[in-house]
């Protein structure tokens, strides 16, 4: 029994030594890439509320018609205006004079900062209850994400190549690839509130060609291990 144990240990030790010897030398590197894109999908959250003008109660329906008329006048398609929550069209706000004052939420999408400015001007004229930019994105955001990831893995291989060339070695095939940190700036906390800021200067940049929305930054990191030839 003792001889058998010694034999098993000897075999295991030999296998471990062979495995260590067979392990290929490699280099581990991280590549990163970044791209900036101007958003072409700007989402505005709009709230219409019932209100009183003196003793006259102004319902939501006529306000909604005025809203549709206003956005149409600046060239925005009505199908870009959607009810934010179809299951709860109306939200009770408060009791007043035994009547329930209600509100209705909408989401409107525009494609650029100049149109955004025109919309806010119209909303101000209509005296809407509240409006703000809830989020921004791009219609081809997924394509841009793929593009940046490809550039990141290419950067990782380029780094491995010049580091190995410095010590007279060559880079081989990748042994493994892992996605690292993914950073997306400009799509979160994108709030321009009519009550606090009726201009879009805090969120858009003015240039000689007009107003442009601040860019979304997409940044990705890829870590990879390459065989050393």
Regarding whether 131 and 46 lie in a shared domain, the answer is yes
- Token pair 């201009």 in the structure block, residue: 199
Which domain CATH number covers 222? 3.30.110.170
Regarding whether 73 and 48 lie in a shared domain, the answer is yes
Whether residue 9 lies inside any domain: the answer is no
Regarding whether 100 and 65 lie in a shared domain, the answer is yes
Whether residue 192 lies inside any domain: the answer is no
Give the pLDDT confidence score for residue 85 in this predicted structure.
66
Whether residue 16 lies inside any domain: the answer is no
Query: CA–CA separation, 181 vs 183, rounded Å?
Result: 6
The answer to whether the pTM exceeds 0.75 is no
Query: CA–CA separation, 66 vs 131, rounded Å?
Result: 15
Domain containing 104: what range? Answer: 41-137
Angle between helices 60-73 and 113-126 (to 10 degrees): 150
Domain boundary among 101, 117, 137: 137
Regarding whether 167 and 122 lie in a shared domain, the answer is no
Residue 59's nearest CA partner among 96, 102, 106, 122 is 102
Whether residue 150 lies inside any domain: the answer is yes
Tell me how far apart the terminal alpha carbons of the chain are, to the nearest angstrom.
45
Regarding whether 110 and 74 lie in a shared domain, the answer is yes
Query: CA–CA separation, 180 vs 98, rounded Å?
Result: 58
Give the pLDDT confidence score for residue 3 in this predicted structure.
52
Question: Cα–Cα distances in Å, from 156 out to 10, 127, 145, 149, 217?
Answer: 41, 54, 17, 11, 20
* Mean pLDDT of the region 19-36: 82
Query: Is the confidence at residue 202, as pLDDT, over 50?
Result: no
Regarding whether 226 and 165 lie in a shared domain, the answer is yes
Query: How many Cβ atoms sit within 10 Å of the Cβ of residue 89?
Result: 13
Which domain CATH number covers 45? 3.30.70.120
Look at the chain and report how many structural domains it folds into.
Answer: 2
Question: pLDDT of 104-117, one tens digit each?
Answer: 899 999 998 889 88
Whether residue 191 lies inside any domain: the answer is no
Whether residue 161 lies inside any domain: the answer is yes
Q: What is the mean pLDDT of the chain?
A: 78
DSSP state of 129: S
* Mean pLDDT of the region 129-148: 91
Regarding whether 167 and 103 lie in a shared domain, the answer is no
DSSP state of 171: E
Domain boundary among 81, 104, 137: 137
Whether residue 18 lies inside any domain: the answer is no
Query: CA–CA separation, 151 vs 149, rounded Å?
Result: 5
The beta-strand segments (E) located in 13-151 are 26-37, 41-49, 51-53, 56-58, 81-83, 91-96, 99-110, 130-137
Question: pLDDT of 68-96, one tens digit each?
Answer: 999 999 999 999 999 886 544 454 544 44
Regarding whether 47 and 114 lie in a shared domain, the answer is yes
Regarding whether 180 and 99 lie in a shared domain, the answer is no
Q: Which helix (H) or strand (E) holds 182?
A: strand 171-185
Question: pLDDT of 154-192, one tens digit each?
Answer: 999 999 999 999 999 999 999 999 987 676 655 433 344
Query: CA–CA separation, 59 vs 53, rounded Å?
Result: 11
| Among 9-13, 110-114, 122-126, the least confident range | 9-13
Give the pLDDT confidence score for residue 199 in this predicted structure.
43
Query: Is the confidence at residue 11, as pLDDT, over 60?
Result: no
Regarding whether 49 and 102 lie in a shared domain, the answer is yes
Whether residue 194 lies inside any domain: the answer is no
Give the pLDDT confidence score for residue 185 in this predicted structure.
56
* Mean pLDDT of the region 199-210: 47
**Three-class SS of residue 204?**
strand
């Amino acid at each position: 029994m003792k001889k058998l144990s010694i034999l098993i240990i000897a075999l295991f030790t030999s296998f471990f030594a062979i495995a260590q010897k067979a392990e290929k030398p490699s280099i581990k590197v991280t590549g990163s890439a970044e791209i900036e894109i101007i958003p072409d999908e700007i989402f505005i959250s709009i709230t219409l509320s019932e209100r009183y003008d003196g003793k006259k109660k102004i319902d939501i329906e006529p306000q909604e018609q005025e809203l549709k008329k206003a956005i149409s006048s600046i060239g925005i398609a009505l199908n870009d205006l959607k009810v934010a929550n179809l299951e709860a069209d109306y939200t009770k706000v408060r009791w007043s004079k035994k009547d329930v004052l209600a509100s209705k939420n909408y989401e409107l999408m525009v494609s650029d900062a100049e149109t955004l400015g025109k919309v806010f001007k119209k909303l101000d004229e209509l005296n809407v209850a509240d409006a703000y930019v809830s989020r921004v994105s791009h219609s081809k955001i997924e394509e841009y994400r793929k593009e940046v990831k490809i550039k990141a893995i290419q950067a990782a291989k380029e780094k491995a190549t010049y580091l190995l060339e410095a010590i007279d070695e060559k880079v081989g095939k990748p042994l493994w690839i892992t996605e690292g940190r993914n950073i997306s700036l400009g799509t979160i906390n994108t709030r321009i509130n009519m009550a606090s800021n009726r201009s879009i200067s805090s969120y858009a940049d003015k240039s000689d060609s007009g107003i442009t929305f601040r860019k979304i930054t997409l940044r990705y990191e890829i870590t990879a291990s390459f065989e050393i030839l």
